[in-house]
Amino acid sequence: MRRCILMLIILSLLVGCSNKKSEANTSYRIAVITMMQGGEFWGALKNGARSARSSTGAVLEFLAPVNESDYEGQISAVQRAIDQQFDAIVLSPSHYTRLEDVVAKARSSGIKVVLADTALRNQSGDFLITADYRQIGKAMAEHAFTHFPEGEPINALVIGSMPNTTSMTNLVESLVQAFSERANARIISATYSFTDEAIARDITRNALLSDPSINLVFALEEYTAHGVANALGDSSNIHFIAFGTTQFEIQLLEKGVIDALVVVNSFNLGYRSVMAAIDLLNGNKPARKLVDFDLVTKESMFSEEHQRLLFQTFQ
């Protein structure tokens, strides 16, 4: 009897080990669908996803339209993942309502959907991983205020990228709120460039011509920042806070043209999004934790922590 019990215990341990090995080696097929093909932010996200692939054996396919404003192109990418019966989709929706129907369709087909960086307004994915964009907006405003003596008028131009994403909406609303609470501070205009460098340049030039009192510009996306920088030149009387980690922006930060760069850890965003998808497929609950960010200045840019943020190829 004891011998039989011992054999049963050994057998159950072997089966358990076999199941764990099978689970670990499962090659899930995951579609990673970003807002656009290019850009440092999306490049770092994809590098993070590749790192997760290396550690798990998942099979990834990267899909994206050429431009962030190509909503139909992103919808088609999600539909392709549905048609090809992917196990999961990591999606950064470029519009908070127009992607809702196709996401619902994916989920009803049994595909796990992890939303990365931006959410949907009326439709939930299976999981969301993002940064706290309201906190980012507050941090940007507070940093900007440090460049102005108490009581000095602050007249800001805010240029976002896409108007119909939850992250950009939260960011702009947070900036507006922070300015409403500061005496002698106002936002002259809050508008959008649709990630077009030329549009951002023209918006900046026209705004400065129509209102010379503007002394602060926020550029909330890397291509937008490039356009603003081209419009400002080496002007020293306008403070400039930007999003991004492009080589051009980093050079402008070092030269003092940009006062601070806001950097979201998009490598970590990509890594955790793929790992969350795998957790969901394995029946596990992913950890809920916000993606980290920081404001990098000329004085702090060479610290080890900020060097990792600025150059997110590997973590």
257 domain residue, yes or no: yes
299 domain residue, yes or no: no
pLDDT recorded at residue 312: 82
Q: What mean pLDDT is predicted for residues 253-262?
A: 96
309 domain residue, yes or no: no
Query: Band of the pLDDT at 20, cuts 50, 70, 90?
Result: very low
**Helix-then-strand count for the chain, H and E:** 11, 11
Vertex 121 angle, CA 115 and 122, to 5° = 100
Same domain, residue pair 72 and 43: yes
pLDDT at 257 over 70: yes
226-236 pLDDT, tens digit per residue, is: 999 999 987 67
| Ordered DSSP codes for 193-243 | -TT-HHHHHHHHHHHHHH-TT--EEEE-SHHHHHHHHHHHTT-SSSEEEEE
147-187 pLDDT, tens digit per residue, is: 999 999 999 999 999 999 999 999 999 999 999 999 999 99
Report d(CA 8, CA 14) in Å as an integer. 10
Which residues make Cβ contacts (< 8 Å) with residue 200, sequence separation at least 6?
Answer: 159, 193, 219, 223, 224, 225, 226, 227, 228, 231
pLDDT recorded at residue 26: 65
Q: Are the C-beta atoms of 88 and 47 separated by less than 8 Å?
A: no
Range of the domain at 115: 27-131+266-291
Same domain, residue pair 147 and 248: yes
93-105 pLDDT, tens digit per residue, is: 999 999 999 999 9
Return the CATH number at 235. 3.40.50.2300
Residue 167's nearest CA partner among 59, 31, 11, 291 is: 291
Q: Are the C-beta atoms of 69 and 194 separated by less than 8 Å?
A: yes
Which residues make Cβ contacts (< 8 Å) with residue 279, sequence separation at least 6?
Answer: 285, 286
Percentage of the chain lying above the pLDDT 90 cut: 87
Same domain, residue pair 271 and 197: no
Q: Tokens standing for 207?
A: 């705004």
129-149 pLDDT, tens digit per residue, is: 999 999 999 999 999 999 999
Same domain, residue pair 96 and 137: no
20 domain residue, yes or no: no
State the average pLDDT for the chain: 91
Same domain, residue pair 251 and 192: yes
Same domain, residue pair 84 and 184: no
Report d(CA 15, CA 13) in Å as an integer. 5
144 domain residue, yes or no: yes
pLDDT at 315 over 70: no
22-56 pLDDT, tens digit per residue, is: 344 469 999 999 999 999 999 999 999 999 998 89
Same domain, residue pair 227 and 111: no
Same domain, residue pair 229 and 249: yes
Which residues make Cβ contacts (< 8 Å) with residue 191, sequence separation at least 6?
Answer: 158, 159, 160, 203
Same domain, residue pair 139 and 253: yes
The number of domains in the chain is 2
Q: CA Rg, the chain, in Å?
A: 23
Same domain, residue pair 147 and 259: yes
Same domain, residue pair 150 and 259: yes
Q: What mean pLDDT is predicted for residues 248-273?
A: 97
284-297 pLDDT, tens digit per residue, is: 999 999 999 999 99
